[in-house]
Structure 1
Amino acid sequence: MKMTKLMATTAVLASTLVLGNVVASAEAGTLPATYETDTTVKFSPSDEITPPVDPLDPEKPTTPVDPEDPDKPINPGTNGPLSIDFASPLYFGENKIVTSDKDYFAEAQPLSDGTTRPNFVQVTDNRGGEQGWTLQVKQNGQFKSKTSNRELTGAQISFANGQVATATDSKVPSIIATEFTLVADGTGAAQNVMTAKAGEGAGTHIYRSGDDAAKATSVKLAVPGKLTKLAETYTTTLTYTLTDVPGNDTPE
């Protein structure tokens, strides 16, 4: 009697396995038996700061340093999930005073290991949806001396040889400014740097000015010769703005 009950229970179990799993053998007792289980992983947007990567090899992390003062801390990136991780500070060097029009080039971006890279800005989209975004930059007024308060009126910064690099398999931003010039007095519209349409730009993307060969000649400061130049240090600032507006709706 016990054997009959045990066999009946076993038969019910086998029947349940066959009916509940479409990949189980249709013929009872056939071996090997198979059984599938669900295996799941989920992802959510990240608000962590993404560290800089090498603009020539985005799979490698890197540590940029200030080109004028290597001991000066680099500004940290913004928080995610849509973030500006880094933008190169520009240093046009110490130059002799001349009375003719002159172009000066920003030094290449130095790294902590002593090597240099193209000047670059890095954006990361960890929202998890490829919604698109727009990166812009604006100059916040003329170059100005903190000593005399004099300005280099009309001195213009221009970027050339714009390129995009990424280590992700998401499509790169399709709208890239290969070259542009900033409005020196800060009153003009911001310049579009790169724009990702919907379906583009997930992960980390880099806009770099030139490749390794052109890294020292891709960001230029044009200074008119007629300007009076005092033996002082002149500075200005640039503001990079990242919005969640995709390419088809780029703000004017």
Structure 2
Amino acid sequence: MKKSLWLVSALCLGSLVLSVSTVDAAATSATTKAKIKFVDGQGDDKVEPTDPGDKTDPGDKTDPKEPVKPIDPGTSTSGPLKFVYIPDVSFGENNLVKTTGNAYYYAQFSQVNGNTERPNFFEVNDSRGGGKGWTVSLSNNGIFKNADGHEIKANLYMNDLNIRSNSDLEERYYPTVTTRLNETVNGNPYMRIESSSVLATADGTQKQGYGSWTVRFGSTGNGIDQKVDGGKTEKRNPAIALEVLPGMKDTASAYTTDLVWEITDSK
């Protein structure tokens, strides 16, 4: 009697197990989130200047933005809104071709990675999020002085400013460069650099300015011949012109002047 009861119980259990194993499990899903938040950069990282390219290059807007080493080390600033590179501007050695009236000289092109010519340029980096805007201005007092303290007066002019994004942003986020060319030099329109002359502006109301930007003066494709030392000619950049006013010139040493670059928050 006990044996029969055991068999019945075993068979019932086996039947129950088979019944459970044939039930399909229903498919289910659930969703979770991944999260990241950004804060303004501190600008304490070392950033090398980026190859400014040239607007005449076929791949100017699409070529990779590679770091470069300008022959002129230039100057940089620090902070979340900063200049990565601002240049010295050299007008080279030039023959005194005029002893009366105004004389005009043009800037030497920048050289990077040895002897590769590029347009003169400056570079801005804004690591503050959201496109808060900024303005770049340049000041010059028009006084050049040599090592002996002798002074000459000269007017600095610029034109053909063009901008390149190093951050692959949409064009609606691009800053704008000045188009206010209200002076004429040798028949061409220029802006005269005086006190706080605005070169480029990122509009914070349009979320502009975040990222890395190169502003170029002219193009190597537009170089013009300038008479230099020894009666030779050299290709110069007509986008940066110097109008030297009449007066005594000394050839004993070079004349220099201060270029004061400023970048300010648009707020």
Same fold, TM-score > 0.5, yes or no = yes
What code does the residue aligned with 1:240 have? W
Q: TM-score under structure 2 normalisation?
A: 0.70
Distance 1:141 1:220, change over 3 A: closer
Counterparts of 1:30-69 in structure 2 under 5 Å? Answer: 30-31=26-27, 33-46=28-41, 47=43, 48-56=45-53, 59-66=65-72
SS at match of 2:152: coil
Aligned counterpart, 2:143: 142
TM-score of the two chains, using structure 1 as the length reference: 0.73
Q: Which has the higher strand share?
A: 2
- Counterpart CA distance in 1 for 2:135 and 2:158 is 18
Give how far 1:41 is off.
2.8
Q: Which runs of 5+ in 2 are unaligned?
A: 1-23, 54-59, 181-189, 224-236
Within a 5 Å distance, the mapping from 1:213-224 to structure 2 comes to 213-214=221-222, 216-224=237-245
Structure 1 unaligned segments of length 5 or more: list them: 1-27, 67-73, 184-188, 247-252
Q: Which residue of the other structure, out of 155, 170, 180, is the alignment partner of 2:191?
A: 180
| Aligned pairs (5 A) from 1:129-168 | 129-140=130-141, 142-147=143-148, 149-153=149-153, 155-168=154-167
> Of 201, 209, 232, which aligns to 2:217?
209
The aligned counterpart of 2:11 is: none
Amino acid of the structure 2 residue aligned with 1:55: P
1:235 correspondence with 2:256: yes
Q: Distance in 1 between matches of 2:264 and 2:46?
A: 17
Please tell me the residue identity of whatever aligns with 1:102: A
- Give me the whole-angstrom Cα distance separating, in 2, the residues matched to 1:85 and 1:211: 21
Deviation at residue 213 of structure 1 after TM alignment: 1.2
2-structure distance, mates of 1:177, 1:86: 22
Aligned length: 203
Amino acid at match of 2:249: K
Q: CA RMSD in A?
A: 2.1
Q: Deviations over 1:23-56 (max 9, x none)?
A: xxxxx9323x434332223333222243211112
How many percent of aligned residue pairs carry the same amino acid? 28
| Bigger Cα Rg | 2
Contact 1:140 1:239 in 2 (8 A): no
| 1:213 aligned counterpart, secondary structure | helix
Deviation of the 1:159 alpha carbon: 0.7
